[in-house]
Amino acid sequence: MSKAPLAAFPAIRPRRLRREDWIRRLVRETTVTPNDLIWSLVVHDGPEPEIVVPSMPGAPRMSVSRAAEAAREAKRLGIPAIAVFPYIDPAKKDPQGSTASDPDGLVCRAVAAMKDAAPDVGVMCDVALDPFTSHGHDGLIENGVILNDASVERLIEQGLVQARAGCDILAPSDMMDGRVGRLRSALEAEGMTDIAIMAYAAKYASAFYGPYRDAIGSASVLTGDKKTYQMDPGNAEEALREVALDISEGADMVMVKPGMPYLDIVHRVAAAFALPTFAFQVSGEYAMIQAAAANGWIDGDRAMLESLMAFKRAGCAGVITYFAPRAARALGA
């Protein structure tokens, strides 16, 4: 398709299409609606409905019953799905992340409570061990090395337990090799043919996850970094290989993470593969907007909506964001 203008100034004056709100709305190429949002939230196991996380203003840890209420709120606001992340009591963490595969664990109870409260709101679970391990890594570790194949086996146990608890979308965020394929065949073997997999396909070793690690309580325990499994921020071609692999292994949807600093990757992935591409507007992106807005340096609502628009414009089918309920309200839901 030719993008060349058909005429030159003054025959063409692009400002004609910007002069009033009605015409800007008429020619707008991209729109954001609550349908584009997945609400990411963190649950905890205590009675307090909400526990403030200082680096995540406006996105507190929620009790299981408050999360069920959030599911009802999502339904009212037209938000299709919620992604749930757990804060695990440090006393329950161990090197194997044992509680990750506990059918009575926090995540499973939260999933069940949310599905009970709002059956037609989708629930997505992270498949990764980091909230559950005493070392804060997404997999198993031996002599300082993250084990790939042994980690995958643990992750499959975790994913199956979440699926049995009623989770609709499994989202492996661990970046181990081969995990999507193993997860898909394990689901098929159990007859769970309708569970969707949204692969964190291009997930970078990023500084923007800091506030999330505060929220789930892994910041204080994490030893070293995640650079042997998460991607190098300098790589784009590799993102296309990672996405292609996850699709060939059975992913239904793919994700790029973080979001806004990686819109080039989103755009390339969405253009190259014919399946829904999502971006995670991660905790650090959320915190930056919140902090600047709190200082009066930017208009928080406008920056929030503009950032969501940017994801859509880049090619996203939707965005995982801590802003979801506020954005839905700002959009008139």
Active site residues: 203, 257
Among 44, 55, 86, 138, interactor with ligand PBG by CB under 6 A? 138
Q: Nearest approach, Cβ of 263 to ligand PBG (angstroms)?
A: 17
Residue 182 or 213 having the CB closest to ligand PBG: 213
Q: If binding is defined by CB under 6 A, does position 43 make contact with ligand PBG?
A: no
Task: Round to whole Å and give the CA distance between 173 and 187.
Answer: 17
- For 138-162, give the DSSP string: SSEEETTEEEHHHHHHHHHHHHHHH
Q: In the stretch 152-191, what mask flags binding to ligand PBG with x, by CB under 6 A?
A: ---------------------xx-----------------
Q: If binding is defined by CB under 6 A, does position 311 make contact with ligand PBG?
A: no
CB 79 within 8 A of CB 121: yes
CB 322 within 8 A of CB 280: no
Q: If binding is defined by CB under 6 A, does position 214 make contact with ligand PBG?
A: no
Among 84, 128, 254, 316, interactor with ligand PBG by CB under 6 A? 128
In sequence order, the 6+-apart residues with CB closer than 8 A to the CB of 45 are: 63, 64, 87, 88, 89, 106
Q: Which residue has the tokens 């506020």?
A: 326
Residue 162 or 173 having the CB closest to ligand PBG: 173
Phi, psi for residue 94 in degrees, rounded to 5: -145, 175
Q: Nearest approach, Cβ of 130 to ligand PBG (angstroms)?
A: 5
Q: If binding is defined by CB under 6 A, does position 126 make contact with ligand PBG?
A: yes
Residue 38 or 195 having the CB closest to ligand PBG: 38
CA distances, 292 to each of 7, 41, 91, 100, 229 (Å): 42, 21, 35, 36, 32
